[in-house]
Amino acid sequence: MEFGLLQQQMDTQRVLRSADDNMGDIMVVGGGISGIQAALDLSSAGYKVYLVEKSPTIGGKMSQLDKTFPTNDCSMCIESPKFIETDRQPNIELMTYCDIDSVEGEPGNFTVTVLKKPRYVIEDSCTGCTVCVEYCPVKVPDPFNQDLSLNKAIHIYFSQAVPLVTYIDDSCLFLQDKTCNICQTVCEKNAIDFGQQAEKVKIKVGAVILTAGYETFDPLPRNDYGYGLFKNVVTSMDFERLLCSTGPHEGQILRPSDKKHPHKIAWIHCVGSRQVTPGGNSYCSAVCCSYTQKQVILAKDHLPDMTAKIFHNDIRSYGKDFERFYQRAQKLPDVHFIRSYVSVGSEDPVTGDVSIRYTTPDGVVEEFFELVVLSVGLAPPKDAPRLSKVFGIELNHHGFCKVDPFNPLQTSRPGIYTSGAFQGPMDIPEAVMGASGAGAQASFMLKSRRGQLSEERVYPEEKDTSEEEPKIGVFVCRCGANIGRVVDVPGIAEYAAGLPNVVHVEESLFACATNTAKAISDTIRDKGLNRVVVAACTPRTHEPLFRDTLREAGVNQYFFDMANIREHCTWVHSKEQEAATQKAKDIIRMSVARTGKLEPLDEFLLPVDKTALVVGGGVAGMTSAHTLAEQGFETYLVERASDLGGMANKLHYTLEGMDIQSFVKELKKKVYRHPRIHAITDASVTDVDGYVGNFTTTVKSKGRVRTIKHGAAIIATGASEYKPTEYMYGQNDKVMTLVEMEGKLAKQDQQLLAAESVVMIQCVGCRNDDRNYCARVCCSGAMKNALKMKALKPEVDIYVLFRDIRTYGFREDYYLEASRKDVKFIRYEPQEPPQLEALAEGGKSFVRVTALDPILGKKLALDADAIILAAAVIPSAGSGELARMFKVPLGPDGFFQEAHAKLRPVDFAAEGVFLCGTAQYPKHLSETITQAYGAAGRALTLLSRDTVVASGAVCAVAARDCVTCGACISVCTYGAIDFVDTPRGKKAQVNAVLCKGDGLCVSKCPTSAISLSHYTDTEVFNQIDAALELI
Amino acid sequence: MAPPSDFKPIIVGFLCNWCCYGGADLAGVSRFQYPPYLRVIRLMCSGRVDLEFIFRAFAKKADGVFIGGCHLGDCHYNPEGNYDALGNSYVAKRILENIGVNPDRLRLEWVSAGEGIRFAEVMTEFGAKIKALGPFGSSEGREVAELQDGLQAATELVPYFKLVERERFRVPKRTEAGYQEFFSRPDYEPLFKELIVDKLSMGRIMGALRAGLASPEAIAQKLRFDPAEVARHLQLLSQQGMVRLNSGQVELAMAA
């Protein structure tokens, strides 16, 4: 035997032997949304993951949020299915209430010492019944509710917590002076163990992903704006809890001083952010503008007569759909956005109202508000310095994790990766795509270990209920207040109990909470239910979770239906409570009628073609293609131009000063030379056929047509720079775009460098009626070019005419630097755009720019030798056609539309197709790289599997009724139906593997011989009849 | 007559999972309010909406039927079932009109998963329309039972329609304009009359006979048909052996 092979076998054996000996592939440290996503991706790609979290549950900051912008999705509702997935995933070893003590070793072979803090509760014994919580006499402020309500010394962190077990905090009387142990007395499971000690556990892993997250800025030390002095000054995180139905007042906005509804609320932006004063952070926190708008919209919904004033600096609506979200908040009645610095005056001793002084065109005014919300920024985790020491990683000058702009997921220590807000302030989707990307990189070096430590999930055997009468259980979810506040849930439950075949009805606060899902499983078993209706939210997000719950209970997962009484009822008829209650009853009646007729179905396993196709050969496409190829997958890279590189070919340096050209050159070389990457240039996709795991795409290049079979596809077709029609562009050679200026600066263009005065005009061709979005990159681009120009020619005068400066995150540093280097910033209003006039005086030609300065209230005239237009980033040509071929949608602005704005930022609703780069939305190079790794990471979860599961809801022909007319065959373009010879002659037959379940054939069959499982005529008839039963 | 102000219509909505259902979800997430009339049945594709679904809903006295699919060209499925939904809605409206149901009670719309606001607008607008029409049958000025008889005949015609559809009603161009053109072609109307409307009329005459009517005059009056038309159809039915004509009286043949 060859030595290499022997060595490999020995390695395998060693790995297997130590599988139960604290051995894993990857450790993810931090159980917020980024850590959860990384753990889920890696575990489903065949790696064993340790997920370590310092608090008693996973969930992180996202679990504290009420809603998420810009869709106002309920934050817990979209995050908690991931908790359950984490809990049920056998390849994730969850360690909560743990710190990291040390990290030794090297990439591929780390030993991490985990410090398990004592919960004083035996996790495996606790059932989460909370009897102990009832009896515990000690009331303490609840950290989950920002200390705005009380909880007990022993409690569960929040009701959807994973693991759903209690923990005991320091305020416990026993821990203080052994005066009480009532919890021990009442616990029937003997789960309380005061003898627990902190314990060190050594775990061996190959790589680490550090997702330590952030803290919100604490305004207490400086008493910012009276916080800590005046009761009715709260932080935005406090307000988030006030808004939330699981918050201190069940979703009633009550102010702290007198627990009354405030009717006049002020928000103050940039608290702790964009401050150079001691105790503040100089960077922009990137999320506060939009979350404030979210809070205003939600507060207005709670309190329709509320007056709100939002005191802001620049409004930074730089993300996808943020601009529209801002407009939505602006348009609300009695909501006023005021651009002004403010100071807090005093607290009215009688009313508790707080006064704010701000500037208006008529001077400074002082006004009282009933509640003041501080939009606090994001700060590094408190223990970041300790993490830096323990993990041996560097921090940047802001105290966040130091990363390489060309690989923002790599820390300074090899083998340790990072994602999420520990990299710097960011929004949820960036944290999620970074997680998938970090997963892809961490798993790269462990690719040979894939699948060795992982195990498949085992479900209980499915019971045969074919002989049973339908026994339907109906679970009515209150969804906190989302459903419960609008409709009469007890009345609905009582009604459901009277419907045919319904044998059990139950209400729950959150049907999707871990304990509820488990309780539903238990109830199904205990009550012998064979069908289940959950009346809650949309099946589009929650059906998989509840189907899984049925499988856990040994019931076929197709015996399930969701009655959507939230999206289709309480959320859209919130002002008509009676009609909404009636409608909810109707919806449930329809669902029960359907469920009675449901049939058990089996799913299919389809093979996965382990080849990838990446469309678009820019930095995004090349990065994903390279990541996939390095992991061993054949990858086709299709590029429209005759060379790879895309937009980056025109860019020269990043804001941080990195050399883009040498980076792109190096990347192109790696891609062109990679044996598993097949780069096809001058190419276009002309046809796409197939489905997840089995696509067939036709690519045309230089007259040659080839067909590529692949299992996954990544769309990375980028974006273009808008060619302005405004500001004399194309008519005067002094006028150029930002990208053109960059090219001139890179080659030190003498004409440009001769300019004594440069005027940059921002927001050209966007944030207008034609393009109602912010192009995200131009403000930073202006800083970059202005600083470069200043470096080449310090005496040049530069004026930036802007609407809002949107240098979000650490990019703010460069805005500060530009201001310090005497770049002048002059704001203009969109209704008064700058006017240009080409002039020649004294033998010198120049352009005179006239703009109205809203602060000075007068017109300024600037004579410029160069005019730089920050031209919009627009969707690349041909996006629409490509979208149609891949059956994926475009958003209203023409960019590709991801499956979910927050939690599925690189997926499409259509399985097997992924998205990255500026094809999704304008973004900076480092963001593109992160997203490209992310898309590759998501594609890896598919390509690393041998099979994908296909739905059991497919068509079948009852041969007896088939009249061989061929109507079904002619409409099925999937070719899933064929005639076969039977004893009764030719009959149509469905190949279930090819059937996609659209059911078009069913509506064409004259004899009803063909049927679509799960959407049969009988099932639909029952729904129709039930809908109209009461007329 | 204006419908009573407390009239709360019920609209049965068939929404495709991928686009319109998603649009309805997004309307919810965005809290766009619309009237509470719609009762949603989720299907994977608007092409799954059988003509029979539409007739059944009206026969059960739905005040309106709504079909929501993906925009043309954006169907989630390769066979582009939304074109078939479009074709079906042309045919259904024509049949509804023929049997006396106001075709405006049926609406087909394309709503993408990103168009929450549009979904709410469509619901508000269609809801107002149906509310103005009043309960099923009222704007028609017909007895509900009479409309139900017509719907029964239409339902019985569906298998036949599916058989001839492929041969005679195949729309050659899968574009919106192609469908519009096909259904407004000069030869479409006579063809539809010959193949569908006449069949439907005969079905309804058979229904009237089964209900006990025996004279051509009574049948013509009940079905609001031209007596000459009734005579023509009876002649055909007699030739097919479905009815016996007997000195001005009609009776069902044994086989029928």
User: How far is residue A408's CA from residue A419's CA, in Å, rounded to a whole number?
Assistant: 8
Confidence of residue A870 (pLDDT cuts 50, 70, 90): very high
Probe site for chain A from B12, B46, B48, B80 (most A CB atoms < 10 A): B48
Q: Could you report the per-residue pLDDT of B47-103, keeping only the tens digit for each?
A: 999 999 999 999 999 999 999 999 998 888 888 999 999 999 999 999 999 999 999
User: What pLDDT does A6 receive?
Assistant: 38
| CB atoms A587 and B159 under 8 Å | no
Is A569 at the interface with chain B, CB within 8 A? yes
Fold of B7-185: Rossmann fold (3.40.50)
Which pLDDT belongs to residue B2? 55
Distance, in Å, from the CA atom of A107 to the CA atom of A10, rounded to the nearest integer, reads 20
Length of chain B: 256
Identify the band that residue A13 occupies on the pLDDT scale cut at 50, 70 and 90: very low
Using the Cβ of B5 and the Cβ atoms of chain A, whether some distance falls under 8 Å is answered with no
Token couple for A799: 């004026």
CA distance B159 to chain A (A): 4
In this chain, the answer to whether the domains covering A119-137+153-195 and A215-379 adopt an identical fold is no
* Complete DSSP assignment for A130-198: -HHHHH---EEE-GGGTTSSEEESEE-SSTT-SS---EE-TT-HHHHHS---HHHHH-TT--B-TT---
- Say yes or no: B11 contacts chain A, CB-CB below 8 A: no
Task: Report the residue from B31, B44, B52 with minimal CB separation from A999.
Answer: B44
Angstrom distances, CA of residue B45 to CA of A65, A813, A1002, B69, B95: 35, 51, 11, 7, 23
Where in chain A are the domains? Answer: 14-117+198-214+382-459, 119-137+153-195, 215-379, 472-599, 607-718+876-948, 721-874, 954-1012
Between B50, B61, B77, which is nearest A1031 by CB? Answer: B61
> Given this model, what pLDDT does residue B183 score?
92
- Which of the residues A298, A302, A567, A1012 would you substitute to probe the B interface, choosing the one with the greatest number of B C-beta atoms within 10 Å? A567
Closest CA to A130 of A482, A561, A540, A513: A513
Compute CA distances B134 → A156, B28, B138, whole Å.
54, 27, 6
Q: Evaluate if residue A3 carries a pLDDT over 50.
A: no
- Is A579 at the interface with chain B, CB within 8 A? yes
- With CB atoms and an 8 Å threshold, state whether A1027 touches B39: yes
End-to-end CA distance of chain A: 80
Report the predicted TM-score, pTM, of the whole model to 2 decimal places.
0.86
Question: By the CB < 8 Å criterion, does A1010 face chain B?
Answer: no
**Dihedral (CA of A882, A887, A888, A890) sign:** positive
For residue B43, give the chain A residue with the closest CA: A1015
Which residue of A lies nearest to B26 if distances are taken between CA atoms?
A567
pLDDT of residue A7 exceeding 70, the answer is no
Residue A792 has pLDDT above 80, yes or no: yes
Q: Show which of residues 872-931 on chain A sit within 8 Å of chain B, judged by CB atoms.
A: 884, 887, 889, 891-892, 897, 909-910
CA A172 to chain centre: 37
Identity of the residue in A568, A972, A1005 whose CB atom sits nearest the CB atom of B40: A568
Q: What is the pLDDT of residues B8-54, one digit of tens each?
A: 999 999 999 999 999 999 899 888 999 999 999 999 999 999 999 99
Instruction: Evaluate if residue A473 carries a pLDDT over 80.
Output: yes
Torsion from C-alpha of A233, A237, A243, A247, nearest 10 degrees: -110
Contact B25 A1028 (CB under 8 A): no
Amino acid sitting at position B184: S
Q: Which CATH architecture has domain A119-137+153-195?
A: 2-Layer Sandwich (3.30)
**B45 contacts in A (CB within 8 Å)?**
998-1000
Asked which of A123-132, A265-274, A486-495 is least confident by mean pLDDT, the reply is: A123-132
Cβ <8 Å between A1031 and B60: yes
Cis peptide, bond prior to residue A1006, ω within 30 of zero? no
The pair of three-digit structure tokens given for residue A803, joined into one six-digit string: 């609407």
Closest CA to A150 of A139, A162, A165: A139
pLDDT at A254: 97
Predicted pLDDT at A909:
82
CB of B66 within 8 Å of a chain A CB? The answer is no
The encoded tokens of residue A224 equal 């910012």
Tell me how close the Cα of B225 comes to any Cα of chain A, in angstroms. 28
- Give which of A7, A61, A831 is closest to A379, Cα–Cα: A61
* Neighbouring-strand partners of residue A980: A987
Å from A1007 to nearest chain B CA? Answer: 6
Q: Which long-range contacts (CB under 8 A, 24 or more apart) does A748-752 make?
A: A748/A792, A752/A789, A752/A866
Dihedrals φ, ψ of A686, to 5°?
Answer: -110, -20
What gap in Å lies between CA A693 and CA A671, rounded to an integer? 24
Residue A837 contacts B, CB cutoff 8 Å = no
Q: For B57, name the nearest residue in chain A, comparing CA atoms only.
A: A1024
Least confident span in A128-132, A561-565, A723-727, B124-128: A128-132
Would you tell me which CATH number, out of the four given (3.50.50.60, 3.40.190.10, 3.40.120.10, 2.60.40.2580), belongs to the domain A607-718+876-948? Answer: 3.50.50.60
Rounded average pLDDT over A45-59: 96
Task: Name the pLDDT band for A426 (thresholds 50, 70, 90).
Answer: very high
Classify domain B206-256 by CATH architecture: Orthogonal Bundle (1.10)
Does A1012 reach chain B within 8 Å, measured CB to CB?
Answer: yes
Fold of A954-1012: Alpha-Beta Plaits (3.30.70)
Length of chain A: 1031
DSSP A42-98: HHHTT--EEEE-SSSSS-TGGGG-SEETTTTEEHHHHHHHHHHHHHH-TTEEEE-SE
The per-residue pLDDT for A472 is 98
| Tokens coding A478 | 């209150």
Residue numbers in B near A920 (CB within 8 A)? none
pLDDT value of residue B29: 83
Of A569, A571, A887, the CB nearest to B76: A887
Which residues of chain A neighbour B31 with C-beta distances below 8 Å? 72, 301, 571-572, 574
- Average of per-residue pLDDT across A602-612: 93
Which of A371 and A951 is assigned the larger pLDDT?
A: A371
The pLDDT of residue A77 is 82
Instruction: Tell me whether residues A887 and B113 touch, CB distance under 8 A.
Output: no
Residue A966: list chain B partners with CB under 8 A: 166
Tell me the C-alpha distance between A338 and A312, whole Å. Answer: 6
Domain A14-117+198-214+382-459 has CATH 3.50.50.60: yes
A345 close to A367: Cβ distance less than 8 angstroms: no
Interstrand relation of A531-536 and A560-564 (parallel, antiparallel or unpaired): parallel
A992 in reach of chain B (CB within 8 A):
no
- Report pLDDT for A4: 42
Q: Is the pLDDT of residue B3 over 60?
A: no
Is the CB of A1006 less than 8 angstroms away from the CB of B159?
yes
CATH architecture group of domain A215-379: 3-Layer(bba) Sandwich (3.50)
> Which numeric CATH code is attached to A721-874?
3.50.50.60
pLDDT computed for residue A691 by the predictor:
87
| Predicted local distance difference test score (pLDDT) of residue A8 | 44
What is the DSSP track for B173-237?
Answer: --SHHHHHHHHT-TTHHHHHIIIIIHHHHHHHHHHHHHTT--SHHHHHHHHT--HHHHHHHHHHH
Query: Phi/psi class of residue B10: alpha, beta or left (left: φ > 0; alpha: ψ in -120 to 50)?
Result: beta
Q: What mean pLDDT comes out for the span A552-577?
A: 96
If we measure between CA atoms, which residue out of A514, A877, A1030 comes closest to residue B12?
A: A1030
Top CATH class, A472-599: alpha beta
Picking from A538, A973, A1002, the nearest residue to B78 by CB comes out as A973
DSSP character string of B50-86: -HHHHHHHHHTT-SEEEEEEPPTT--SSTT-HHHHHH
Mutate which of B7, B15, B16, B29 to disrupt the A interface (most A C-beta within 10 Å)? B29
Instruction: Please provide the average confidence, as pLDDT, over all residues in chain B.
Output: 92
- Name every residue whose Cβ is closer than 8 Å to that of residue A702 and which is 6 or more positions away in sequence: A682, A683
pLDDT exceeds 90 at position B256: no
Of the candidates B27, B43, B114, the beta carbon closest to that of A891 is on B114
Contact with chain B for residue A1018, Cβ under 8 A: no
* Average pLDDT along chain A: 94
For B:18-47, CB contacts with A below 8 A are 18, 21-22, 24-36, 38-45, 47
> 10 Å Cβ neighbour count for B159?
15
Using a CB-CB cut-off of 8 Å, the residues of chain A touching B53 are: 1020-1021, 1024
The tokens for A714 are 């990544």
Q: Of chain A residues 61-90, which have a CB less than 8 A from chain B?
A: 71-73
List helix spans (H) across A505-566: 514-527, 539-552
Chain B: nearest CA to A941, how far in angstroms? 23
- Give contacts of A 212-231 with B, CB under 8 A: none
Touching A: B residues 180-219, CB under 8 Å: none
Q: Average of pLDDT values for A1019-1025? A: 98
- Which chain A residues touch B18 with a CB distance below 8 Å? 909
Task: Among A71, A574, A1007, select the one facing B159 at the smallest CB separation.
Answer: A1007
Of B5, B21, B25, which to mutate for an interface test with A (greatest number of A Cβ within 10 Å)?
B25
From chain B, the residues in CB contact with A910 under 8 A are: 76
Residue from A1024, A1025, A1030 whose CB has the most chain B CBs within 10 Å, to mutate: A1024
Locate B198 and state its tokens: 């006449």
Report pLDDT for A325. Answer: 95
Query: pLDDT (tens digit, 9 = 90+) per residue, A492-523?
Result: 999 999 999 999 999 988 888 777 888 899 99
Q: What is the pLDDT of residue B254?
A: 65
Q: Are A1024 and B56 within 8 A, CB to CB?
A: yes
Structure confidence at residue B247 (pLDDT): 80
pLDDT the model gives residue A234:
98
Q: Which amino acid is at A287?
A: V
| Chain A residues touching B33 at Cβ < 8 A | 572-575
Buried b or exposed e, range B164-178, using 16+ CB within 10 angstroms: ebeeebebeeeeeee
pLDDT at A1 (0 to 100)? 37
Task: Please report the pLDDT score of residue B166 as a whole number.
Answer: 83
pLDDT score, position A165? 92
- Identity (one letter) of the amino acid at A1001? C
